[in-house]
Amino acid sequence: MSLVNYATREITCKIVYYGPGRSGKTTNLHYIYGQVPEDRKGKMVSLATQTDRTLFFDFLPLDLGTISGFTTKFQLYTVPGQVYYQTTRKLVLQGADGVVFVADSQARQLEENIESFQDLHANLAEQGIDARAVPLVIQYNKQDLPRDLILTPAELNDALNFRGVPEFGADALHGPGVFETLRSISELVLKRLSQPVK
């Protein structure tokens, strides 16, 4: 749940980038890190293996500026995508206010995408969270690869986006789609704070 400090008028939200191994979660954070001015970001922390695969998580704190008089801070996390890091994925997902699912658009990765998406839902359910209630955005990364290697966003939607959540094609390495994804998940997360709790 977003942390709201009424005394200092600060909001802190946790956003987790989820998805199969090598889909581009860390690349999203690296791109964001490279774009944001020094005074608006903290150190990017990466707990990675010797081959640069995410071992525990990547973490990037961002100062989003003032919204409705509240200083708004986002904590961006990635999870390790490899199947065998199931336990760490659960730990990082704990307390997430929103999730970005980064899918690999390559046709040969479709099964991994579906498996990881199911894993996300199972892990949310295990924490007693209704997956339908969690702000979620899907990013179809690597849309810059040759057409014959990838699936289109429409084809990927058929396989993954049964909730009809916002989706974006992206090339996280060079930037297209990264900003739009972050903007969309930020909006969904903050929207929850703009509505009365029933």
Partner 1 sequence: MSITAVEPWVEIPLRKFVEEARTVLGLLLHPSGQVVAQFGFARAVDVMSACALAAAIHASAGELGKQLEGKPFRGLHHPGRDRQLYLAEAATPRGTFIFLTVFDQESSLGLVRLYFDEFCKSLAAAAPPAPRRVEPVIEERFEQELNRNLAALFGRG
Total binding residues toward partner 1, as defined by CB under 8 A: 53
Structure-block tokens of residue 112:
């991994």
- Site residues for partner 1, 174-193, by CB under 8 A, read 179, 182-183, 186-187, 190, 193
Closest separation in Å from C-beta 25 to partner 1: 15
CA angle 3, 127, 62 (to 5 degrees): 35
**Contact flag: residue 8 with partner 1 (CB under 8 A):** yes
Span near partner 1 by CB under 8 A; candidates 6-14, 104-112, 152-160, 166-174: 6-14
- Site residues for partner 1, 55-94, by CB under 8 A, read 56-57, 59, 61-68, 70, 72-73, 75, 77, 87-88, 91-92, 94
- The Cα–Cα gap between 155 and 105 comes to 10
Closest separation in Å from C-beta 43 to partner 1: 5
**CA dist list (Å): 14 to 48, 49, 60, 178, 190:** 20, 24, 10, 17, 11
**Contact flag: residue 36 with partner 1 (CB under 8 A):** yes
**Contact flag: residue 3 with partner 1 (CB under 8 A):** yes
Closest separation in Å from C-beta 157 to partner 1: 24
124 and 93 Cβ atoms separated by less than 8 Å: yes
Closest separation in Å from C-beta 196 to partner 1: 6
Question: Residue 5 or 118: which CB sits closer to partner 1?
Answer: 5
